[in-house]
Amino acid sequence: MTIILGFVITIGCILGGFMAMGGHVSVLVQPFELMIIGGAGLGGFIMANPMKIVKDSGKAIAEVLKNKVPKEREYLDVLGALYSLMRDLRTKPRNEIEAHIDNPEESSIFQAAPTVLKNKDLTVFICDYVRLIIIGNARSHEIEALMDEEMETMLADKLKPYNAITAMGDSFPAIGIVAAVLGVIKAMGHINESPDVLGGLIGAALVGTMLGIFLSYSLCNPLTAQIKIVRTKQHRLYTIVKQTLIAYMNGSVPQVALEYGRKTISNTDRPSIDAVEKEMMNPGGDNKAA
């Protein structure tokens, strides 16, 4: 939960520094300034994006808060399912392979890899390209080009929340100025009041500028950076599938083809060779034990 920890540190330092300078935190409590900035930003966000992206943005934020990136078990499930499919491609007739890819929910191969089966898009991706391998007419470089095109489209779709929230964050400083100007307009309506009253109104107006900058650079920017990291790591599963199947089509035996896929995983997340070999011998072993 680094994003929560970082946010707490940010808030603590800002408020602590302000108080250390002799400021009163109560001055910063301006709910109507926040309503103006937040409401204008959210309204613009909804106007600029289809509802599908608005919903996916909420999902992306939830994924960040849960740190929903692939774990070792997910990588092993992908590699295990691919190994079983490639092994059967070499040793079993076409109709038996088709049974797995036409109905993955009932397939023993996919049932042994529940994290793959749960990821509907990934399951479809695997089944589609195994089906093309079965047909046997397409060459490996043609399949690779098709995979690259599809993966590029999928990644662009996955990063739409990143782009949408980034655009909203970029607008907050300007919206903060709008809130500040409205606050000044209100203050000008009390120009004949005492300096204490007028100073409080002007101070409240300036809080709008501060809030706009804070929401942009201290909230939206870190959040979108984490969305991009999480969604890119999730997309890595497709790269594993691509490299493994292309290596198989180019003549590698299943054990070697898996290594092509394993090597695309970051060093910090990559399962060991021993773990992959164990998975080949007993696909979904941890899941069965559970």
Sorting pLDDT into bands at 50, 70 and 90, what band is 289?
Answer: very low
The model's pLDDT over 133-168, given as tens digits with 9 standing for 90+, comes to 998 777 899 999 999 999 999 999 999 999 999 999
In b/e form, how buried is each residue of 227-244, taking b as 16+ CB within 10 angstroms?
bbebbebbbbbbebbbbb
Please report which confidence band the pLDDT of residue 286 belongs to, taking 50, 70 and 90 as the band edges: low
197 pLDDT higher than 90: no
CA dist., res. 239 & res. 261, Å (int):
7
Residues 6 or more apart whose CB falls under 8 angstroms from that of 1 comprise 65, 67
Q: What is the pLDDT of residue 285?
A: 63
Buried/exposed 40-70: b ≥16 CB within 10 Å, e otherwise? bbeeebeeebeeebeebbeebbebbeeeebb
Q: What is the mean pLDDT of residues 16-34?
A: 90
pLDDT value at residue 136: 76
Cβ atoms of 83 and 258 closer than 8 Å: yes
Closest CA to 266 of 238, 221, 233: 233
pLDDT at 290 over 50: no
Helical H segments across the chain, by residue range: 2-20, 31-48, 51-65, 72-91, 94-102, 108-111, 114-118, 120-135, 140-158, 160-188, 195-214, 221-249, 254-262, 273-281, 285-289
**The pLDDT of residue 31 is above 60:** yes
CB atoms closer than 10 angstroms to residue 79: 27
What number is the average pLDDT over the span 216-240? 96
Confidence class of residue 198 from pLDDT cuts 50, 70 and 90? Answer: confident
Contact between residue 184 and residue 205 where contact means Cβ atoms under 8 Å apart = yes
Distance CA 45, CA 64 (A): 19
What is the pLDDT, as a whole number, of residue 288?
52
**Residue 287 reports pLDDT greater than 80:** no
Computed over every residue of the chain, the mean pLDDT equals 92
Task: Yes or no: say if 122 and 238 are a contact pair by the CB < 8 Å rule.
Answer: yes
Rounded to an integer, what distance in angstroms lies between the CA atom of residue 113 and that of residue 10?
A: 41
- pTM score: 0.89
Q: 280 pLDDT band (50/70/90 cuts)? A: confident
| pLDDT given for residue 279 in this prediction | 86
Confidence of residue 83 (pLDDT cuts 50, 70, 90): very high
Which of the given ranges, 69-83, 187-201, 273-287, has the highest pLDDT on average? 69-83
